[in-house]
Amino acid sequence: MADTLTQEQIDAMLSSVLAGDSAPLDTHEEKEEIKEYDFRTPKKFTKEQIKILERIFENYSRHLSSYITGLLRLYCKVSLASIEEQKYFEFSNALPDYTIMGIVDLGIEDDDIEESNAVLQLSNSLTFTMIDRMLGGKGTYEDADRDFTEIEINVMRSIVERFTSLMTEAWDGYVETKPKLESIETNSRVISAADADETMIIVAMEVTINDSKSVVSFCMSAITMDQIMKKFSAKFSSGKRAGSPTKETERKENLMSTLSQSELTVTAVLDDTMLTLRDVLNLQVNDIIPLHKPITENVQLKVGSTCWFDGKLGTLNGKKAFRIDNILKN
């Protein structure tokens, strides 16, 4: 049934006709766009939890960048690409038949966390680039739909072991981990790291080598990740421990405390002048070296080789002293 027009709308239409304006009159209010929500896959993680995961894996990406660059002697940049929640079958179906997958135990010793297993998967472009480089090649990649040889698996096992150990530093300050590589798998259709309908947290990191882009993926059960994050969510706000400094802050404070006890050489410099080697060789006791600085001009005080202050020379309690007049900006 058509909506009933109000008197104002009828008057507006009559005015429009009399004025010769045939533009249609919108009699319906604009409706708000409604976003669909899939109740079959509800989101388990809050925005704050996602931000914490972003910080952890951005840190992990930096460690991977340094390691891969040093290993291959090729510039490598690793950056966090995305963090998503997916069903395990969605993650598994997107993988090629043959790919390097490391089964990792984060080694979190806590009675409330039943297991801390995860999957670390390397895209084939990255895998074959690293294998080619490690076996003496230039680090080129040729697409190959085949299983890996024993030599290739052994090469990648040592690399994935290092990828695994670097997680300790990434999680440091949040939760104590002792990650361990349990096994290397190459057939994605055989391995089943979780139930097909189980919700997983998928972290994708983009790897760039020689302008070629590839991906390292971290896959863990959302339930397990939620248990891990609950252990420190109450203690952390925006990545900082409530009521006490993080380990990173503690390290900085300890470093500054140690440095503050260091002894530095402080030198008051009257002036600089140039002498020839002949003049230096002919210097004798009671010789006078004229300086160009006026007696009223300040003297510089150097800490090491850097001028930090200037001021006046004098005496204090029968000893030579230096009075600071200005702090120099360098």
In this structure, the answer to whether residues 208 and 303 fall within a common structural domain is: no
Residues sharing a CB contact under 8 Å with residue 124, sequence separation 6 or more, in sequence order:
96, 98, 99, 100, 143, 144
In this structure, the answer to whether residues 85 and 212 fall within a common structural domain is: yes
Q: pLDDT digit string (tens) for 20-49?
A: 554 454 545 555 566 565 555 556 788 888
In this structure, the answer to whether residues 55 and 198 fall within a common structural domain is: yes
How confident is residue 247, by pLDDT bands cut at 50, 70 and 90? Answer: low
Give the CATH number, domain containing residue 308. Answer: 2.30.330.10
The pLDDT value given to residue 197: 87
Q: Which residue has the higher pLDDT, 7 or 292?
A: 292
Answer with the one of 221, 251, 281 that is the final residue of a domain: 251
CA distance 76 to 130: 11
In this structure, the answer to whether residues 228 and 318 fall within a common structural domain is: no
In this structure, the answer to whether residues 191 and 122 fall within a common structural domain is: yes
Alpha-carbon distances, residue 247 vs 107, 110, 174, 241, 250 (angstroms): 19, 20, 9, 9, 5
The pLDDT value given to residue 233: 64
Reply yes or no on whether the pLDDT at 286 is more than 80: yes
In this structure, the answer to whether residues 163 and 211 fall within a common structural domain is: yes
How confident is residue 148, by pLDDT bands cut at 50, 70 and 90? Answer: very high
Answer with the one of 204, 221, 251 that is the final residue of a domain: 251
Q: What is the pTM of this model?
A: 0.60
Does residue 36 lie within any of the structural domains? Answer: no
Does residue 257 lie within any of the structural domains? Answer: no
Answer with the one of 198, 220, 251 that is the final residue of a domain: 251
In this structure, the answer to whether residues 227 and 276 fall within a common structural domain is: no
Does residue 225 lie within any of the structural domains? Answer: yes
Task: Report the chain's mean pLDDT, rounded to a whole number.
Answer: 82
Domain count of the fold of the chain? 2
In this structure, the answer to whether residues 215 and 308 fall within a common structural domain is: no
In this structure, the answer to whether residues 231 and 281 fall within a common structural domain is: no
CA distance 38 to 40: 5
The pLDDT value given to residue 16: 62
Q: Find the domain containing 166 and state its range.
A: 47-251
